[in-house]
Amino acid sequence: MANSKFEYVRNFETPDPLLPNTWVVVRVDGRAFTKMCAKYNFEKPNDRRALDLMNTAAKAVVADLPEITLAYGVSDEYSFVFHKSCNLFDRRASKLVSTVVSTFTSHYVFSWSTHFPDTPLSFPLPTFDGRAVCYPSVQNLRDYLSWRQVDCHINNLYNTTFWTLIQSGGLDNKEAEKALAGTLAADKNEILFSRFSINYNNEPEIFRKGSVVFRDYELVDPGSNNIAQTIDSVAEPIKQSKTQAENDKKRRAKARILVEHLDIIKDDFWDRRPWILS
Protein backbone atom coordinates (compact mmCIF):
# COMPACT_ATOMS: atom_id res chain seq x y z
CA MET A 1 0.00 0.00 0.00
CA ALA A 2 1.35 3.42 -0.95
CA ASN A 3 2.20 5.88 1.80
CA SER A 4 -0.40 8.54 2.36
CA LYS A 5 -0.49 11.63 4.50
CA PHE A 6 -2.99 9.82 6.69
CA GLU A 7 -0.72 6.98 7.56
CA TYR A 8 0.81 8.66 10.59
CA VAL A 9 -2.30 7.65 12.60
CA ARG A 10 -0.91 4.13 12.76
CA ASN A 11 1.46 5.46 15.42
CA PHE A 12 -1.50 5.89 17.72
CA GLU A 13 -1.77 2.11 18.02
CA THR A 14 -0.25 0.99 21.30
CA PRO A 15 1.71 -2.25 21.27
CA ASP A 16 0.31 -4.91 23.62
CA PRO A 17 2.57 -7.96 23.46
CA LEU A 18 2.14 -10.46 26.27
CA LEU A 19 5.20 -11.38 28.33
CA PRO A 20 7.29 -13.93 26.42
CA ASN A 21 7.74 -17.50 27.65
CA THR A 22 4.69 -17.42 29.93
CA TRP A 23 1.49 -19.46 29.87
CA VAL A 24 -1.25 -17.28 28.45
CA VAL A 25 -4.78 -17.89 29.68
CA VAL A 26 -7.62 -16.32 27.74
CA ARG A 27 -10.85 -16.55 29.71
CA VAL A 28 -14.17 -15.84 28.06
CA ASP A 29 -17.32 -15.25 30.11
CA GLY A 30 -20.91 -14.96 28.98
CA ARG A 31 -22.30 -11.44 29.16
CA ALA A 32 -25.35 -11.12 31.41
CA PHE A 33 -26.01 -14.86 31.38
CA THR A 34 -28.19 -14.48 34.46
CA LYS A 35 -30.65 -12.76 32.10
CA MET A 36 -29.93 -15.27 29.30
CA CYS A 37 -30.88 -18.11 31.68
CA ALA A 38 -34.24 -16.49 32.34
CA LYS A 39 -34.88 -15.59 28.72
CA TYR A 40 -34.10 -19.07 27.34
CA ASN A 41 -35.44 -21.01 30.32
CA PHE A 42 -32.19 -22.68 31.36
CA GLU A 43 -32.89 -25.45 33.85
CA LYS A 44 -31.65 -24.54 37.32
CA PRO A 45 -29.10 -25.04 38.72
CA ASN A 46 -27.53 -26.78 35.71
CA ASP A 47 -28.88 -26.81 32.19
CA ARG A 48 -27.10 -29.70 30.52
CA ARG A 49 -27.86 -28.37 27.01
CA ALA A 50 -26.16 -25.06 27.79
CA LEU A 51 -23.08 -26.80 29.21
CA ASP A 52 -22.85 -29.09 26.18
CA LEU A 53 -23.11 -26.05 23.91
CA MET A 54 -20.26 -24.33 25.79
CA ASN A 55 -18.20 -27.52 25.34
CA THR A 56 -18.98 -27.72 21.61
CA ALA A 57 -17.83 -24.11 21.15
CA ALA A 58 -14.69 -24.66 23.25
CA LYS A 59 -13.77 -27.80 21.33
CA ALA A 60 -14.05 -25.85 18.08
CA VAL A 61 -11.76 -23.12 19.45
CA VAL A 62 -9.14 -25.70 20.49
CA ALA A 63 -9.38 -27.36 17.06
CA ASP A 64 -8.99 -24.00 15.34
CA LEU A 65 -6.00 -22.85 17.40
CA PRO A 66 -3.43 -25.65 17.82
CA GLU A 67 -1.37 -23.39 20.10
CA ILE A 68 -4.02 -24.00 22.78
CA THR A 69 -2.89 -26.88 24.95
CA LEU A 70 -5.86 -27.15 27.32
CA ALA A 71 -9.17 -25.52 28.08
CA TYR A 72 -11.31 -25.61 31.21
CA GLY A 73 -14.96 -24.60 31.39
CA VAL A 74 -17.61 -24.10 34.03
CA SER A 75 -20.94 -22.24 33.98
CA ASP A 76 -20.77 -19.48 31.32
CA GLU A 77 -16.96 -19.26 31.28
CA TYR A 78 -14.10 -21.02 29.51
CA SER A 79 -10.35 -20.64 30.05
CA PHE A 80 -8.04 -21.36 27.11
CA VAL A 81 -4.38 -22.06 27.89
CA PHE A 82 -1.87 -21.11 25.20
CA HIS A 83 1.45 -22.91 25.43
CA LYS A 84 4.23 -20.69 26.73
CA SER A 85 6.09 -21.13 23.43
CA CYS A 86 3.09 -19.77 21.47
CA ASN A 87 3.95 -16.95 19.10
CA LEU A 88 0.58 -16.50 17.42
CA PHE A 89 -0.03 -12.84 16.41
CA ASP A 90 3.37 -12.10 17.98
CA ARG A 91 1.54 -12.63 21.30
CA ARG A 92 -0.47 -9.43 20.87
CA ALA A 93 -3.07 -9.50 23.64
CA SER A 94 -5.89 -7.79 21.76
CA LYS A 95 -5.47 -10.08 18.73
CA LEU A 96 -5.39 -13.25 20.86
CA VAL A 97 -8.34 -12.28 23.05
CA SER A 98 -10.53 -10.99 20.24
CA THR A 99 -9.83 -14.05 18.07
CA VAL A 100 -10.72 -16.46 20.90
CA VAL A 101 -13.86 -14.51 21.86
CA SER A 102 -15.14 -14.24 18.33
CA THR A 103 -14.31 -17.84 17.37
CA PHE A 104 -16.03 -19.04 20.55
CA THR A 105 -19.09 -16.82 20.03
CA SER A 106 -19.46 -17.83 16.36
CA HIS A 107 -19.48 -21.51 17.25
CA TYR A 108 -21.79 -20.96 20.21
CA VAL A 109 -24.34 -19.29 17.96
CA PHE A 110 -23.80 -21.73 15.08
CA SER A 111 -24.37 -24.78 17.33
CA TRP A 112 -27.22 -23.31 19.36
CA SER A 113 -29.98 -25.11 17.44
CA THR A 114 -28.24 -28.48 17.78
CA HIS A 115 -28.28 -28.22 21.56
CA PHE A 116 -31.54 -26.26 21.91
CA PRO A 117 -33.66 -27.75 19.09
CA ASP A 118 -36.90 -26.51 20.68
CA THR A 119 -35.72 -23.03 21.69
CA PRO A 120 -34.98 -20.75 18.75
CA LEU A 121 -32.31 -18.13 19.32
CA SER A 122 -33.61 -14.57 19.19
CA PHE A 123 -32.64 -11.37 21.04
CA PRO A 124 -30.64 -10.81 23.13
CA LEU A 125 -28.06 -12.86 21.26
CA PRO A 126 -25.33 -14.50 23.34
CA THR A 127 -22.14 -12.46 23.65
CA PHE A 128 -18.92 -13.04 25.59
CA ASP A 129 -16.20 -10.87 27.06
CA GLY A 130 -12.57 -11.93 27.30
CA ARG A 131 -9.27 -11.19 28.99
CA ALA A 132 -5.72 -12.52 28.85
CA VAL A 133 -3.49 -13.22 31.84
CA CYS A 134 0.12 -14.50 31.78
CA TYR A 135 1.27 -17.12 34.27
CA PRO A 136 5.06 -17.44 34.50
CA SER A 137 5.32 -20.92 36.03
CA VAL A 138 3.53 -24.25 35.67
CA GLN A 139 2.71 -23.96 39.37
CA ASN A 140 1.01 -20.58 38.82
CA LEU A 141 -0.90 -21.99 35.84
CA ARG A 142 -2.03 -25.06 37.77
CA ASP A 143 -3.04 -22.86 40.71
CA TYR A 144 -5.11 -20.75 38.31
CA LEU A 145 -6.90 -23.84 36.98
CA SER A 146 -7.34 -25.20 40.52
CA TRP A 147 -8.87 -21.87 41.51
CA ARG A 148 -11.46 -22.17 38.73
CA GLN A 149 -12.23 -25.81 39.59
CA VAL A 150 -12.58 -25.07 43.31
CA ASP A 151 -14.92 -22.23 42.34
CA CYS A 152 -16.95 -24.70 40.27
CA HIS A 153 -17.23 -27.02 43.26
CA ILE A 154 -18.18 -24.31 45.77
CA ASN A 155 -20.76 -22.70 43.47
CA ASN A 156 -22.25 -25.99 42.37
CA LEU A 157 -22.68 -27.30 45.91
CA TYR A 158 -24.33 -24.02 46.88
CA ASN A 159 -26.54 -23.87 43.78
CA THR A 160 -27.54 -27.53 44.03
CA THR A 161 -28.63 -27.09 47.66
CA PHE A 162 -30.28 -23.73 46.98
CA TRP A 163 -32.37 -25.05 44.07
CA THR A 164 -33.23 -28.31 45.85
CA LEU A 165 -34.62 -26.29 48.77
CA ILE A 166 -36.77 -24.39 46.26
CA GLN A 167 -37.73 -27.12 43.79
CA SER A 168 -38.19 -30.02 46.26
CA GLY A 169 -38.42 -28.22 49.60
CA GLY A 170 -41.03 -25.63 48.59
CA LEU A 171 -39.01 -22.64 49.87
CA ASP A 172 -38.91 -19.34 48.00
CA ASN A 173 -35.61 -17.69 46.98
CA LYS A 174 -35.37 -15.55 50.13
CA GLU A 175 -36.07 -18.49 52.43
CA ALA A 176 -33.54 -20.71 50.65
CA GLU A 177 -30.92 -17.97 50.84
CA LYS A 178 -31.58 -17.59 54.55
CA ALA A 179 -31.43 -21.35 55.15
CA LEU A 180 -27.96 -21.44 53.57
CA ALA A 181 -26.51 -18.32 55.19
CA GLY A 182 -23.38 -19.23 57.15
CA THR A 183 -23.48 -22.92 56.23
CA LEU A 184 -20.29 -24.88 55.48
CA ALA A 185 -19.86 -27.52 52.78
CA ALA A 186 -20.60 -30.30 55.29
CA ASP A 187 -23.89 -28.61 56.26
CA LYS A 188 -24.99 -28.42 52.62
CA ASN A 189 -24.11 -32.07 52.04
CA GLU A 190 -26.13 -32.91 55.15
CA ILE A 191 -29.18 -30.86 54.05
CA LEU A 192 -29.14 -32.61 50.66
CA PHE A 193 -28.72 -36.07 52.19
CA SER A 194 -30.93 -36.01 55.27
CA ARG A 195 -33.79 -33.95 53.85
CA PHE A 196 -33.78 -34.92 50.19
CA SER A 197 -31.86 -38.25 50.07
CA ILE A 198 -29.41 -36.71 47.61
CA ASN A 199 -25.79 -37.83 47.82
CA TYR A 200 -23.93 -34.86 46.36
CA ASN A 201 -21.09 -37.13 45.22
CA ASN A 202 -23.52 -38.90 42.90
CA GLU A 203 -24.38 -35.68 41.05
CA PRO A 204 -23.09 -35.73 37.44
CA GLU A 205 -19.35 -35.05 37.17
CA ILE A 206 -19.89 -32.37 34.52
CA PHE A 207 -21.74 -30.33 37.20
CA ARG A 208 -19.30 -31.03 40.04
CA LYS A 209 -15.99 -30.79 38.17
CA GLY A 210 -16.62 -28.73 35.05
CA SER A 211 -15.13 -29.71 31.67
CA VAL A 212 -11.55 -30.13 30.49
CA VAL A 213 -10.67 -30.06 26.79
CA PHE A 214 -7.36 -31.50 25.65
CA ARG A 215 -5.72 -33.51 22.90
CA ASP A 216 -5.70 -37.26 23.25
CA TYR A 217 -2.35 -39.04 23.06
CA GLU A 218 -1.39 -42.29 24.71
CA LEU A 219 -1.68 -42.05 28.49
CA VAL A 220 1.51 -42.35 30.51
CA ASP A 221 1.70 -44.85 33.35
CA PRO A 222 2.09 -42.66 36.45
CA GLY A 223 4.55 -45.21 37.87
CA SER A 224 7.09 -44.76 35.07
CA ASN A 225 9.90 -42.27 35.45
CA ASN A 226 9.53 -40.39 32.18
CA ILE A 227 7.07 -38.00 33.71
CA ALA A 228 7.86 -34.39 32.95
CA GLN A 229 7.51 -33.05 36.47
CA THR A 230 10.52 -30.79 36.37
CA ILE A 231 9.30 -28.77 33.39
CA ASP A 232 8.93 -25.80 35.61
CA SER A 233 12.18 -25.95 37.55
CA VAL A 234 14.18 -23.87 35.12
CA ALA A 235 12.25 -21.32 33.10
CA GLU A 236 14.09 -22.03 29.88
CA PRO A 237 12.69 -21.01 26.55
CA ILE A 238 11.64 -24.03 24.58
CA LYS A 239 14.05 -24.50 21.72
CA GLN A 240 12.89 -26.70 18.90
CA SER A 241 14.26 -27.42 15.48
CA LYS A 242 12.03 -26.35 12.58
CA THR A 243 11.21 -29.93 11.63
CA GLN A 244 10.43 -30.93 15.20
CA ALA A 245 8.11 -27.96 15.53
CA GLU A 246 6.46 -28.88 12.21
CA ASN A 247 6.01 -32.50 13.30
CA ASP A 248 4.52 -31.43 16.61
CA LYS A 249 2.12 -29.17 14.80
CA LYS A 250 1.00 -31.98 12.49
CA ARG A 251 0.63 -34.33 15.43
CA ARG A 252 -1.47 -31.80 17.29
CA ALA A 253 -3.65 -31.19 14.25
CA LYS A 254 -4.31 -34.94 13.92
CA ALA A 255 -4.97 -35.72 17.59
CA ARG A 256 -8.50 -36.27 18.77
CA ILE A 257 -9.85 -33.54 21.02
CA LEU A 258 -11.54 -34.83 24.15
CA VAL A 259 -13.96 -33.20 26.56
CA GLU A 260 -13.85 -34.84 29.99
CA HIS A 261 -14.92 -34.05 33.53
CA LEU A 262 -11.85 -34.77 35.61
CA ASP A 263 -10.06 -33.53 38.70
CA ILE A 264 -7.36 -31.15 37.47
CA ILE A 265 -6.27 -30.09 40.95
CA LYS A 266 -4.51 -33.33 41.88
CA ASP A 267 -1.26 -34.39 40.13
CA ASP A 268 -2.71 -37.52 38.51
CA PHE A 269 -4.35 -35.75 35.56
CA TRP A 270 -1.07 -34.01 34.67
CA ASP A 271 1.23 -36.95 35.44
CA ARG A 272 -0.68 -39.13 32.99
CA ARG A 273 -0.71 -36.50 30.26
CA PRO A 274 2.76 -34.95 30.31
CA TRP A 275 2.39 -33.60 26.75
CA ILE A 276 -0.07 -30.94 27.91
CA LEU A 277 2.53 -28.88 29.76
CA SER A 278 5.73 -30.01 28.03
Residues near ligand ATP (CB under 6 A) are 29-34, 37, 42, 44-47, 50-51, 75-76
Considering the complex, what minimum distance in angstroms separates the CB of residue 77 from ligand ATP?
A: 6
Q: Report in angstroms how near the CB of residue 180 gets to Mg ion at its nearest.
A: 20
Minimum distance, C-beta of residue 129 to Mg ion, in the bound complex (Å): 5
Among ligand ATP, Mg ion, none, what does residue 189 contact (CB within 5–8 Å per kind)? none
Looking at beta carbons only, is 96 or 277 nearer to ligand ATP? Answer: 96
Residues 51-80 interacting with Mg ion (rule: CB under 5 A): 75-77
From the CB of 31, what's the least distance to Mg ion, in Å? 6
Question: DSSP string spanning the chain?
Answer: ----TTGGGGGGSPP-BPPTTSEEEEEEEETTHHHHHHHTT--SS--HHHHHHHHHHHHHHHHH-TTEEEEEEETTEEEEEEPTT--GGGGBHHHHHHHHHHHHHHHHHHTHHHH-TTS---SSPP-EEEEEEEE-SHHHHHHHHHHHHHHHHHHHHHHHHHHHHHHTT---HHHHHHHHTT--HHHHHHIIIIIH---GGGS-HHHHH-EEEEEE-PPPPTTSS-----TTTS-PPPP--HHHHHHHHHHHHHSEEEEE----SSSHHHHT-GGGT-
Q: Is 33 in the site for Mg ion (CB under 5 A)?
A: yes
Query: In the complex with ligand ATP, which residue's Cβ is closer, 88 or 220?
Result: 88
51 binds, among Mg ion, ligand ATP, none (CB under 5 to 8 A by kind): ligand ATP
Residue 30 interacting with Mg ion (CB under 5 A): yes
CB of 155 to ligand ATP, least distance (A): 7
Closest separation between CB of residue 44 and ligand ATP, Å? 6
Q: Which is nearer to ligand ATP, 32 or 238 (CB)?
A: 32
How many residues of this chain bind Mg ion (CB under 5 A)?
6
Check: CB of residue 225 under 8 Å from CB of residue 111. no
Which CB sits closer to Mg ion, 85 or 127? Answer: 127
- List residues near Mg ion by CB under 5 A: 29-30, 33, 75-77
